[in-house]
Amino acid sequence: MRKLFFLVTLSLSMLLLGCGEITNMQNEEMKESAMFEKMTVKAPIAKKVPKELTIHGDTRIDNYYWMNQREDPEVIAHLNAENTYKDTILSHTEKFQEKLFEEIKGRIKQTDMSVPYTQNGYSYRTKFEEGKEYPIYARNKGDKNGKEEIMLDVNELAKGFDYYNVAGRSVSPNNKILAYGEDTLSRRIYTLRFKNLETGEMLSDVIPNNTGSAVWGNDNKTIFYTVKDDALRAYKIFRHTLGTDTSKDELMFHEKDDTYSAYCWKSKSKKYIMIGSFQTLASEFRTLDADHPTGDFKVFQPRDYENKLEYSVSHYGDKFYIRTNLDAKNFRLMETPVNATGKENWKEVIAHRDDVLLEGVEIFKDYKVLSERIQGITKLRVIKNSGEDYYIDFPDDAYLAYTSINPEFDNELLRIGYTSLTTPNSTYDFNVNSKEMELLKQQEVLGKFDANEYASERIMAKARDGAEVPVSIVYRKDTKLGASTPLLLYAYGSYGSSMDPYFSSTRLSLLDRGFVFAIAHIRGGEEMGRHWYEDGKLLKKKNTFYDFIDCAEHLIANNYTSSDNMYAMGGSAGGLLMGAVINMRPDLWNGVIAAVPFVDVITTMLDETIPLTTGEFDEWGNPKNEEYYKYMKAYSPYDNIEAKDYPALMVTTGLHDSQVQYWEPAKWVAKLREMKTDNNPLVMHCNMSTGHGGASGRFERFKETAMEYAFFLDLAGKGDEPMLQ
C-alpha cells in the first residue's frame, strides 16, 4: 500500500471550533510554502458530543450525532474545514485534475443536438452550444426542416444560480403551453412554471413544492401535479385550472400511508390520466378519462400489500395491459377490459418464466415491445398484433438495449437505444415490419478514440454460497493483465436496479492509463431475475457485500490484478456497499471512493422524518423490529468501524442531498479518523451548493470526476506528479 506523506505544514493552532477552519491569511501562507516541507498536514478533528441511542435494550454511542444540523455554523465550519483539508491533500494533483477535466471535456462535442422525435405534429430536440453548460429545448412545426422555435434556453434561466435544473417538460395537447419544473437548490423540490409558446410570456400560475411534472387534461387548461411532504415524499395529487388561484386547487388523492409514494402521468394513448401509488412491494392505480378531467378517479385494482401485489398499467383500445407479479415472481403480462379492471378479470397474454424477467412493456397501435432480461442482458421482443413474435438482434454478447422516446402511438418505427462497454450510445429507428435498422446517431467521441482498441469480457465469479455472479470487464487491448494491473471494481446492488454494461467516454481517462474497469452484477440488483434482488435485501443483504468481495477475489485469482492494485467505487446505496466491504475486507483494496454513501443505516432508518425512510422498510427492514435491528447493526458501516488499517478513501457528499443526508458521510469520516490505525489518505469532498446528483452544468460535474480519477491514478502511481513513497 502506498502511503501518502503530505507536503504542506499546518499546525493544530490553525484549527478553529475544533473543526480545522483555516483563515484567509493562513491559506495564503500555505500557498507560498515550499513543496517539500517535512511535517504532515493535520486533518480536521471533529468534537465529540456523546449521544446515547437506545432501542431493544441496546445502546449505541454516537459521538458525532450533533452534525445533523444543516444550519448550525459549527457544522458548516466543519464541512468547510474538510473541503480545505481535501484541497490541501490533493494540491499536488491540481494540475493533473485540470488536465483530466480538459481531457474528459475534450471528448464531448460541445455543439451538439439530440435526435429529433415527433409528437403531436412537432419535431422536438435538445441542443447544446459551445461553451454553454445547459441545454436548449427547441421544436419545429411539422418535420425537422420547419422554422425552429426555442422553447427554453436553460442557460438564460440558470443565470445567477449556483445550481439549476429543469425537469418534467410537458406541452399542452393544443401545443400552446409548456409546463416545466424548476429546482434551484438540488433538493429535488420543484416549482412548476408555465410558458405561453405563442407569445413567449410566462403565465402567472406558479406552483411550489412538487415533483416538477404537470399532467395535462385534454381540455388544455386542467393540469394535475404531485406535492411533496416535509420528508420529500410525493403524497398528494392536486388538480389546477390555469388562470385560477393555486390556493384553491382541488385535492384529488392523498396517500396517507407513509410507506407509499404517489405520482401522476398520462397514458401513451392520451386517453387516461393515471394516478399511481407504490411502495417497494405493492402498488395501486387510479384512472380518469382525459377528455373529462374534472371528473373523479376510479381505482383500477385495490392495493394488496398482504399478498405483495405489484402491477403497472398500459392502455390500448378497449383494453388495459397489466405487467404484474400476480402468481409470477418474474412478472407476466395480462389484459383486461377497460370497464372491468379488477384482477378477477385479468387474462394472461405472456406467461411467467423462471428464467426470464419481464422488465417492461410498451404498447403501440399494431404491436407491443417487451423488455425481457435473460441471463443478465435485456432483450427487446416485438409482438405484432398479427401474431408475429421475434427478438431484435444485436452484435455484442454484453450490452444495454432499451426503448427510447416513442410518444407516437401509431408508428411502425421503433426508436431504440443501444450501447456496450466498447460501443458509444447509439440511437436507431427499427422498422418492425421490414426489420431494417437505421442508425440515426452514435455518440461522437472527439479525439483519437477507436472502439477497436478496447476489449470487453463477461465472466462468471463463484460466490461463497455457490451463486454465479456476472462480471462485465473492459480494458485497452494493449493493457497487460496481471498482478501489477490497476483495476477499478464498481457495483450498486440495491433496489433491484441492474447495472448494465454501458459505454462511458469519461472512463477512457482510466482505460488509456492502463486501468481495467469491471462491473460486478451482484445480488440486490435484478440482473439475473427477481430472485437476484430478493436474495440481496432485508435479512439477506449481506449477500450483496459477500458477492462484491468474492468478485474481487475471483479477479485476483484469475490474474486480472492484485489486492495492491485493486480499487473500488460505489455511490448512494453503492456507497453503503463500499463502507461494508472496507470493514469486512480492508486488505483487498488499495483505494476506495464512496460517493454520497448511505452509511449510518440504523439511525437513518429509525428516523421517519428523513426522506425515503418510510418507503424503504421493505428494502432494508424496519429497525424497530429487533430482528432487523440486529441484522442491520451487523453490517452498518458507521456502527462497525474498528481500530485497524483501512485503504485510502475519498468520500463525496452534497450539503443539500435529499437522498442521503450530508451528515451520514460527515459522521462516518469523523469516526474513521478517530479509529483507523493507518496513515492512508482519508478525504471528504462536500459540495456546498448541490445535492445527490452533484453539479447541474453539462461540464461542471466532470470537475468532480476529474478529482476522483486523479485520486485513483495518483494512488496507482499514474498521476502526472507521483506520490512520495
At 555, give phi and psi (nearest 5°): -65, -40
With respect to residue 200, please indicate whether it lies within any of the assigned structural domains: yes
State pLDDT tens for residues 681-723: 999 999 987 655 545 566 788 999 999 999 999 999 998 744 3
With respect to residue 14, please indicate whether it lies within any of the assigned structural domains: no
- Residue 90 has what pLDDT? 96
CA angle 164, 168, 170 (to 5 degrees): 125
**Final residue of a structural domain among 324, 358, 392:** 358
Residues 217 and 353 grouped into a single domain: yes
CA angle 229, 495, 611 (to 5 degrees): 20
pLDDT band at 513 (very low <50, low <70, confident <90, very high): very high
What is the biggest distance separating any 2 CA atoms in the chain, rounded to whole angstroms?
80
Q: 55 with 639: CB under 8 angstroms?
A: no
Residue 44 has pLDDT above 50, yes or no: yes
**Final residue of a structural domain among 444, 459, 476:** 444
Domain count, the chain: 3
Catalytic residue among 572, 636, 658, 696: 572
Cell of 640: 462497525
Residues 333 and 219 grouped into a single domain: yes
Residues 281 and 185 grouped into a single domain: yes
With respect to residue 33, please indicate whether it lies within any of the assigned structural domains: no
Residue 571: which domain range? 48-105+448-715
Which of helix, strand or coil describes residue 437?
Answer: strand
Residue 536 has pLDDT above 90, yes or no: yes
The residue-averaged pLDDT of 359-380 equals 94
Helix/strand/coil percentages in the chain, nearest 5: 20, 35, 45
Beta bridge partners of 149: 139
The residue-averaged pLDDT of 295-317 equals 95
With respect to residue 289, please indicate whether it lies within any of the assigned structural domains: yes
- Residue 152 has what pLDDT? 96
- Residue 660 has what pLDDT? 81
Residue 304 annotated as catalytic: no
Cell of 296: 373523479
Residue showing cell 452514435: 442
State pLDDT tens for residues 420-458: 999 999 999 999 999 999 999 999 999 999 999 999 999
Residues 215 and 271 grouped into a single domain: yes
Residue 203, domain CATH = 2.130.10.120
Residues 522 and 594 grouped into a single domain: yes
With respect to residue 36, please indicate whether it lies within any of the assigned structural domains: no
Residues 593 and 695 grouped into a single domain: yes
Is the alpha carbon torsion for 70, 577, 257, 57 positive or negative? negative
Residue 657 annotated as catalytic: yes
Residues 514 and 626 grouped into a single domain: yes
Residue 254 annotated as catalytic: no
The residue-averaged pLDDT of 383-392 equals 96
What gap in Å lies between CA 615 and CA 242, rounded to an integer? Answer: 33
Q: 120 with 220: CB under 8 angstroms?
A: no
pLDDT band at 66 (very low <50, low <70, confident <90, very high): very high
Residues 190 and 116 grouped into a single domain: yes
Residue 464, domain CATH = 3.40.50.1820
pLDDT band at 230 (very low <50, low <70, confident <90, very high): confident
Catalytic residue among 472, 692, 696, 714: 692
- Residue 263 has what pLDDT? 95
Catalytic residue among 657, 658, 696, 714: 657
**Pairing between β-strand 566-571 and β-strand 591-595 as defined by DSSP bridges:** parallel
Residues 227 and 313 grouped into a single domain: yes
What is the layout of strands, in order, in the sheet containing 648-654? 454-462, 468-476, 516-520, 487-490, 566-571, 591-595, 648-654, 682-687
With respect to residue 4, please indicate whether it lies within any of the assigned structural domains: no
| Relative orientation angle of helices 663-675 and 73-89, to the nearest 10 degrees | 60
State pLDDT tens for residues 595-648: 999 999 999 999 887 766 777 888 999 999 999 999 999 999 999 999 999 999
What gap in Å lies between CA 681 and CA 715, rounded to an integer? Answer: 10
How many residues in total does the chain contain? 725
Residues 429 and 283 grouped into a single domain: no
Which of helix, strand or coil describes residue 394?
Answer: coil
With respect to residue 42, please indicate whether it lies within any of the assigned structural domains: no
With respect to residue 240, please indicate whether it lies within any of the assigned structural domains: yes
State pLDDT tens for residues 646-685: 999 999 999 987 668 899 999 999 999 999 999 999 999 9
Residues 77 and 199 grouped into a single domain: no
Cell of 35: 513543496
Cell of 152: 427554453
State pLDDT tens for residues 489-508: 999 999 999 999 999 999 99
What gap in Å lies between CA 663 and CA 656, rounded to an integer? Answer: 10
What gap in Å lies between CA 289 and CA 276, rounded to an integer? Answer: 15
Residues 93 and 177 grouped into a single domain: no
Residue 144 has pLDDT above 90, yes or no: no
- Residue 705 has what pLDDT? 95
**Final residue of a structural domain among 421, 444, 467:** 444
